[in-house]
Structure 1
Amino acid sequence: MAGTSGRLLALLSLLQARRDWPGALLAERLEVSERTVRRDVGRLRDLGYPITATKGPDGGYRLGAGADLPPLLLDDEQAVALAVALRSATASGADVGEAAGRALATLRQVMPSRLRHRVDAVELSSAAPSRGARPAADPAVLATLAAAVRARELVRFDHGDPGDPGDPGDRPGVVRRVEPHHVVSRAGRWYLVGWDLDRDDWRVFGVDRVRPRVPHGPRFTPRALPGDGSVASFLTGRFRGAAAGEDWPCRGEVVLHLPLAQVAPFALDGVVEALGPDHTRLAVGSWSWTGLVALLARFDADLEVVGPPELATAIDRVGRRLVDAGGRGPAQN
């Protein structure tokens, strides 16, 4: 039989692995008597672990949540995964960089050397923020919105930056009333997806621009998201400019007078097909017909429009505009 300290760690590890444990099964796994299990459970309770006893024919034990955070027991892979996650927290879009750094220092200090070396070998670098990059989301605001999503409570908030209202409704003193559906991270930025009661439509709000009002509104019955109900598909569609679904609102097909090897690397999410050594079919989408024309112009090659007619019209319109601009010559100061 293992010593008391080792046995307590093994018991704690088992209790963390599943919700309920019959006492007899714990005794069997630890190779001790049920009386020893009861004593060890009492020792863990004295250390601050909120372990409750369950009644019934297979009565046993359950590790619950307490008022304070007790010591945690992690296996090697969990410890390394947690350390790597803390290192990458600064790229999460939430303003938790300092807290994540302190948590990583605490975790690294108690790690055995073999794990410390594995963590130190992982080097993460982040690019400097681009000009005009949005600030990180406030963790307190994230927690407030996430709690409202779980509780299905209407949220009231100001949205926008002073001097940069963005949406016409983002004016000082204008309070948004939204049924929150999801709080989601995309490309390092956090968003609130919800039904805007005043606009009678689904909206996406940058959490970094949300300033909650208290108290929250009444509870509500959640609505179904458009399309397949997936928040990922909904966000993809909204950022592409689609009113519904996740596909591009404008999609066209052309034949480029280029070999497949020169088209495929720059086709983004388009579909390419070789029609010969120097001709490639490309079906691709964009947020507008003008945007699609610009995408096709990047290839700097002759092309034939397969369809639809809107694409041919847009090419003709943009082409005439560029010809007119070129004919006027350089602007005179």
Structure 2
Amino acid sequence: MHKTSSRLLALLSLLQTHRDWSGEDLAERLDVTSRTVRRDMDRLRELGYPITTVKGPAGGYRLEAGTDLPPLLFDDGQAVALTVALQTAAVGTAVAEDAARALATLRQVMPPRLRHRIDQLRVTAVQPPAATGDTPQATAQLLMDLSRVIHAREELRFDYAPGANASADDPRRVEPHHLVAWRHHWYLVAWDLPREDWRTFRVDRIRPRTPTGPRFTPRELPGGDVSAFVTGRFRGNDGTTTDWPCQGEVILRLPAADVVPFAQDGIVEELDAHHCRLVLGSWSWTGLATAIGRFDTGIEVIGPPQLATAFRELAARYARAARIPQADAAGDGRAGEA
């Protein structure tokens, strides 16, 4: 049986995971009697937690949202999860400093045992280097402003610079739908009213105009899933599928273990100790051929024909770039063999 303090913490964790709990279920989970559960509920109410009794045949309890902040209680797993999230989720963003301050604040109110445990947890999230001339990250205030407009379902007007060195277009007018994070950048998913199509906008390149426009009835996002939609758009399709527009299959003269670390989201199948099959996708056939060519080994194209054509076009392009006529290059090869 739990001690009173640890049992209260376990009870509070259970109340936060479900809307309603019956007294019998809580007693069974905590290995106590229903009478003990009732006493513990009274103790939590005294600490400021708004717990109401649910009427019904079996009765039960519900943790409501309170107006005052009661003492924060975290079990070991929650403390570790918060530490990892605050150390990694905000890296390279405008809220990184706020996340660091939040972690410092939580550490101060944790008991010595938990504080010692999270002090031993050192996680470093490495942000990819920014492109030359890249724009600053979106500010926390801008994210909050966009979130408010999305929640209010109001049309948004803003100036937008599509590239680091590009000038702003005419003001855009959209129906904002979602804020998403993709590879350390925030994006706004919205219905572009003049263009009558879905668009994704880098948030750090948005400069909102005021006032906002009229309210609107949200449209249904293609596919219904914002994660799949954004993934599909960045892979060059219409957002209704996450598949790459171009996908090919080859056999590489390399062990599968040497290919897997660099195959990204490709599928690698081991054929023998020195060969493997690779199925990979890209936004174009030329891009796909280039991605496969970086393995620097013998390649056998299984299909489709467009991939083989892309390899031939790249070979001719590279030969011209090297300023070696293909006929002479072939002759040199024969002479060397002789």
Partner in structure 2 of residue 304 of structure 1: 300
Residues 192 and 79 of structure 1: CA distance in aligned 2, closer, same or farther (over 3 Å) = same
The alpha-carbon deviation at position 71 of structure 1 amounts to 3.4
Matching residue's letter, 1:232: S
Counterparts of residues 75-224 of structure 1 (less than 5 Å): 75-91=75-91, 94-127=93-126, 130-132=129-131, 134-160=135-161, 164-165=165-166, 170-171=168-169, 174-224=170-220
Residue number in structure 1 paired with 2:225: 230
1:200 maps to a residue whose letter is E
Residues 61-114 of structure 1: CA deviation (Å, up to 9, x unaligned):
8654455544333334333432332233432x5422232222222221121111
Q: Unpaired runs of 5+ in structure 1?
A: none
Q: CA deviation at 1:123?
A: 0.4
3-state SS in 1 of match to 2:322: helix
- On the 8 A contact 1:153/1:179 being kept in 2, the answer is yes
Could you tell me how far 1:198 is from its partner in structure 2?
A: 1.8
Measured in 2, the distance between the counterparts of 1:66 and 1:229 equals: 33
* 1:236-294 deviation per Cα after TM superposition (whole angstroms, max 9, x unaligned): 22222223421111122233344544444433333334555554433221111111121
Cα drift, residue 184 of structure 1:
1.6
Closer/same/farther in 2, CA of residues 68 and 177 from structure 1, 3 Å limit: farther
Q: Is the 8 A contact 1:83 1:107 kept in 2?
A: no
Q: 1:30 to 1:14 in 2, by over 3 A?
A: farther
Q: Structure 1-normalised TM-score?
A: 0.75
CA contact (8 A) 2:135 2:164 kept: no
One-letter code of the match for 1:267?
A
State the aligned residue count.
316
Residues 1:320 and 2:319 aligned together? no
- Rounded to whole Å, the distance in 2 between the matches of 1:195 and 1:215 is 18
CA distance in 2, matches of 1:298, 1:10: 53
Residue 187 to residue 23, structure 1, CA distance change in 2 (3 Å): same
Provide the aligned C-alpha RMSD in A.
4.1
Instruction: Give me the whole-angstrom Cα distance separating, in 2, the residues matched to 1:291 and 1:242.
Output: 15
In the TM superposition, residue 38 of structure 1 has moved relative to its aligned partner by 7.8
1:261-272 correspondence to structure 2 within 5 Å: 261-272=257-268
> For residues 309 and 163 of structure 2, what CA distance do their matches in structure 1 show?
41
Q: Distance in 2 between matches of 1:60 and 1:255?
A: 61
Deviation, structure 1 residue 193: 1.4
1:127 and 1:24 mapped to 2: Cα distance?
Answer: 47
**1:23 touches 1:37 (CA, 8 Å); kept in 2?**
no
- The answer to whether the Cα contact below 8 Å between 1:250 and 1:289 also exists between their aligned partners in 2 is yes
Query: Secondary structure of 2:323's partner?
Result: helix
Aligned residues of 1:11 and 1:30 also touching (Cα < 8 A): no
CA distance in 2, matches of 1:314, 1:186: 29
Task: Give the counterpart letter for 1:103 in structure 2.
Answer: A
Name the CA shift for 1:159/1:38 in 2 (closer, same or farther; >3 Å): same
Is the Cα–Cα contact under 8 Å of residues 244 and 281 in structure 2 kept in the other structure? yes
CA distance in 1, matches of 2:71, 2:255: 61
Q: 1:108 is aligned with what amino acid?
A: R
Task: Quote how far apart the aligned CAs of 1:144 are.
Answer: 2.6
Q: Does the aligned pair in 1 maintain the 2:266–2:281 contact within 8 Å?
A: yes
Task: Report the CA distance between 1:125 and its aligned residue.
Answer: 1.8
Matched, 1:73 2:73: yes
Q: What secondary structure is seen at the aligned counterpart in 1 of 2:181?
A: strand
User: Which is worse superposed, 269-278 or 237-246?
Assistant: 269-278
Q: In the alignment, residue 189 of structure 1 is paired with which amino acid?
A: H
Contact 1:23 1:59 in 2 (8 A): yes
User: In the alignment, residue 284 of structure 1 is paired with which amino acid?
Assistant: L
Given the superposition, is the C-alpha separation of residues 29 and 75 from structure 1 closer, same or farther in structure 2, using an over 3 Å criterion? farther
After superposition, the Cα gap between the structure-2 partners of 1:85 and 1:322, relative to the gap in structure 1 and judged at 3 Å, is closer
Give me the TM-score of the superposition, normalised by structure 2: 0.74
Letter aligned with residue 152 of structure 1 = R
Greater shift after overlay, 281-290 or 64-73?
64-73
Alpha-carbon offset, residue 60 of structure 1: 8.7
